[in-house]
Amino acid sequence: MNAKNFKRTKLACYTAYFTMSSIFSLPPLLFAALQDMYGISYTLLGTLVLTNFCTQLTVDLIFTAFTKYFNIKKVVRVMPLITSAGLLIYALVPNLFPQHAYAGLLVGTVLFSISAGLSEVLLSPVIAAIPSDNPQKDMSLLHSLYAFGVFTVVVVSTLFLRIFGADNWMYLTLFWAALPIAAAVMFMLSPMPDMDVSSDSEGTKGTKRRTLALALCVGSIFFGSCAENAMSNWVSTYIENALHVDKTLGDILGMAMFAILLGTVRITYAKYGKNITRILLAGMVGATVCYLVAGLSTNVIFAFVACALIGLFTAMLWPGALIMMEENVPGVGVAAYALMAAGGDLGASVAPQLLGIVVDKVAESSFASEFGASFNLAAEQIGLKAGMLVTAIYPLIGTVLLIFAIRYFKKQKN
């Protein structure tokens, strides 16, 4: 089949990736309402976030080891329906059975997290397997739609909650639950490309080279994911509590602006991009500088701009690592994409949590009170800035790793 036969398949992938953004960006916007209505503690809300990422990581690892035992084409077609089912349970159980509200939220989270893990593992290799004149463009466009999805979910949800009230959160969740059904219908009516699910080797020496090359790519996506997700998870809180900007304005200026920059860069690369390793290196260096500025600057405008620019610099770090793998690792199949997804999800789990731990520990210390008094800053502000400085370590290590990877890949090609 030629590329025309897969036009609807490609559109289905884009739609599924766009709707997947609700899984990540909607729950944090609802946490305040859930706490007020059902008395759910911060610890239990945090457990929902941890459950989300742990479930995705488990799915990634299962597909890394057991890819050949799955019917990939059927899994892709069912995947959006799992998203809808998870969001439906998330919305309905707390309202139908308020005494079991948390159980419904937990079951719903597990279900849509399974779908999110499947999306990260399978949508990229589906796009890569579709015949194309410019596969890098298709991959970058796929990931740009996730960013634009986050922007859409944040803006629409924030306005809905402001206009109709947090008490009506379930209707908002039901709306987002209906959208993945469109992707499921498109998948059912579309042909699926053949994908490599084998783990073929090239002999001991070739296997060692391939393993090292893949490890460098996994390391790159891990540190890139750390740099991106630490800010995407904390930007709203940082802008509100460290820079003292109104919450609604902080959500739109923070999360939404971050997402729109993320998507704009990815779609720009899809149209004009090349030399992915240089772009990855520039992204890591730029993210390092921006985290340092956000952590060190006492100027609100400089700190805000630095936070927003991290969205720009980290935009290609996840999809770019996938492109780098496709260009430099021979014979990549679904298992390799699953391993990359595992690296990215691990980064998305580790970095935001470490930043939160640093914020709490520093804010509670006597050092924060004494040092903050010198600059007329509260202890919490010092903690948040310390968190930003610590997070700069991820893109800094990523920069060193990429320099080694670029030299290694160049040597292998020569």
Please write down the HEC assignment for all residues of 165-208. CHHHHHHHHHHHHHCHHHHHHHHHCCCCCCCCCCCCCCHHHHHH
276-303 pLDDT, tens digit each: 999 999 999 999 999 999 999 888 889 9
Handedness of CA 386, 218, 232, 79 (dihedral sign): negative
For the entire predicted model, the pTM comes to 0.82
Assess contact for 218 and 343: CB atoms under 8 A: yes
Q: How does DSSP classify residue 193?
A: -
Structure tokens at 311: 């969205």
Whole-number Å distance between alpha carbons of 188 and 128 = 19
Q: For position 290, what pLDDT does the model report?
A: 96
CA distance 163 to 172: 12
Q: pLDDT tens for residues 64-99?
A: 888 888 888 999 999 999 999 999 999 999 888 989
Burial of 393 (0-12, 13-18, 19+ CB in 10 A): middle
Note the pLDDT of residue 202.
Answer: 46
Q: Which residues contact 182 (CB under 8 A, 6 or more apart)?
A: 15, 19
Cβ-proximal residues to 72 (8 Å cutoff; 6+ apart), any chain: 122, 192, 195, 197, 334
Does pLDDT of 116 surpass 80? yes
Domains of the chain: residue spans and CATH? 1-193 (1.20.1250.20), 203-414 (1.20.1250.20)
Find out whether 361 and 179 touch, Cβ atoms under 8 Å: no
Phi/psi of residue 130, each to 5°?
A: -80, 130
Q: How far apart are CA 295 and CA 178, in angstroms?
A: 40
